[in-house]
Amino acid sequence: MRSGTRHPSATAPPGLAGLRSAAHAATAPEAWDFVEGGSGWETTLSANRAAFDAVSLVHRVMTDTASADCSGRLLGTDAAMPLLVAPMAYQRLLHPDGELATARAARAAGVPFILSTLSSHPIEAVVETGADVWFQLYWLRERQAREALVDRAEQLGCRALVVTVDVPVMGRRWRDVTNGFTLPPHVRAALLEPGLDDLAHRPASGVSAVAAHTRALFGVPTLAELEQLRRRTELPLLVKGILDPQDARRAVECGADAVVVSNHGGRQLDGAVPSIAQLPAVVEAVGGQCEVLMDSGVRTGTDVLRALALGAAGVLLGRPVLWGLAAAGEKGVCEALSVLHDELREGMLLAGCADLAAAAGLHAHRWVPGD
């Protein structure tokens, strides 16, 4: 590399740079800001990547590794790699097929797809794609509506329930505020009763209509409510939005089968610690009593390997999936997932890991120039 030549942007490593560029070109500016933006000054958004880049792996040699098997199990579910498609709202903003295209691509890649409460397609249609569908629950304040959603997801065959607990209100996302972001008429919250998403379509200068809608409808569960939910459903229960080890232990005590270490992709508390930095402490805190997953900042197969080495059972992938969707629909999401799979497999080979158990045994540490 010539002196002064910049490395590709940290938000778009070479493997996904083309998809990101194509997605940017194909997406309306307000929708792009909704996808790419973070809260506040976006310091946590940037810190997520910096924290991943600071994790160094100690590779193994002379391990007689002729191949690498990326497949494993996530909460009892077979997966072609330790990755799930993260729950992401309103995917019809980026492509007419929205969640249907993403679910079909996840099925083709052999990984679970987590459907958001704010899906722009109904659960029934997404389940019909044949994907391994898990359901993400935002904590609707109205108990009857919340319980009806949980029952519906379970009856339709969703394989797990992912409860998001880090959105008492939506973080102030200045890009959306500046844009006065509202949902276009063709994009609805298909899982909510008609009229419940009206606020998200109501424009007002200097206001994010989506934030106003979230503030009106959603909250977070108390520990007692989480325990009640655990008693109500037989589905595996994941608690998403954990950063503090004490909260992870409390989730386990409430009956969680897994916790997701997450700062919501830098979209909630600006200044929150990067997820990857908190992962080892959370893993230690739960002491093997539940699985630990993580999200926020995953952009490469090496990132997945880093997370495994630090104790994660797997990762949730967010924005790169949406880049693929915006760029080329189902085909684009397939490409994004294929890139991550190939990068993970190559990384495992280079690190001397024949399987995920070996990857979990790698030594990783935070490297600082000058150490």
Q: Which domains does the chain carry?
A: 15-56+75-348 (3.20.20.70)
> Could you tell me the pLDDT band of residue 371, with boundaries at 50, 70 and 90?
low
In this predicted structure, the answer to whether residue 14 has a pLDDT above a threshold of 80 is: no
Its pTM surpasses 0.75? yes
In this predicted structure, the answer to whether residue 112 has a pLDDT above a threshold of 50 is: yes
Taking residues 333-361, what's their average pLDDT? 97
Taking residues 105-128, what's their average pLDDT? 98
The per-residue pLDDT of the chain, averaged, comes to 93
Whose structure tokens read 């560029």?
21
In this predicted structure, the answer to whether residue 110 has a pLDDT above a threshold of 60 is: yes
> Could you tell me the pLDDT band of residue 195, with boundaries at 50, 70 and 90?
confident
> Could you tell me the pLDDT band of residue 130, with boundaries at 50, 70 and 90?
very high
Give residue-wise pLDDT tens across range 247-300.
Answer: 999 999 999 999 999 999 999 999 999 999 999 999 999 999 999 999 999 999
Whose structure tokens read 């997701």?
260
For the beta carbon of residue 284, count every other beta carbon within 10 angstroms. Answer: 13
Please indicate whether residue 18 or residue 85 has the higher confidence score (pLDDT).
Answer: 85
Catalytic residue (choose from 264, 341, 363, 365): 264
- Is 264 designated active site? yes
**SS3 readout for the chain:** CCCCCCCCCCCCCHHHHHHHHHHHHHCCHHHHHHHHCCCCCCHHHHHHHHHHHCEEEECCCCCCCCCCCCCEEECCEEECCCEEECCCCCHHHCCCCHHHHHHHHHHHHCCCEEECCCCCCCHHHHHCCCCCEEEEECEECCHHHHHHHHHHHHHCCCCCEEEECCCCCCCCCHHHHHHCCCCCCCCCCCCCCCCCCHHHHCCCCCCCHHHHHHHHHEECCCHHHHHHHHHHCCCCEEEEEECCHHHHHHHHHCCCCEEEECCHHHCCCCCCCCHHHHHHHHHHHHCCCCEEEECCCCCCHHHHHHHHHCCCCEEEECHHHHHHHHHHHHHHHHHHHHHHHHHHHHHHHHCCCCCHHHHHCCEEEECCCCC
Give the C-alpha separation, 364 to 64, whole Å: 21
In this predicted structure, the answer to whether residue 5 has a pLDDT above a threshold of 70 is: no
> Could you tell me the pLDDT band of residue 187, with boundaries at 50, 70 and 90?
very high
Are residues 240 and 164 in contact, defined by beta-carbon separation less than 8 angstroms? yes
In this predicted structure, the answer to whether residue 359 has a pLDDT above a threshold of 70 is: yes
Taking residues 113-130, what's their average pLDDT? 98
The values of phi and psi at residue 103, to 5°, are -65, -40
Please indicate whether residue 351 or residue 13 has the higher confidence score (pLDDT).
Answer: 351
Query: Which residue type, as a one-letter code, is found at position 18?
Result: G
Q: Residue 185: its pLDDT value, please? A: 93
The values of phi and psi at residue 153, to 5°, are -60, -45
Lowest-pLDDT range of 188-192, 198-202, 309-313? 198-202
Could you tell me the maximum CA-CA distance found in the chain, to the nearest angstrom? 63
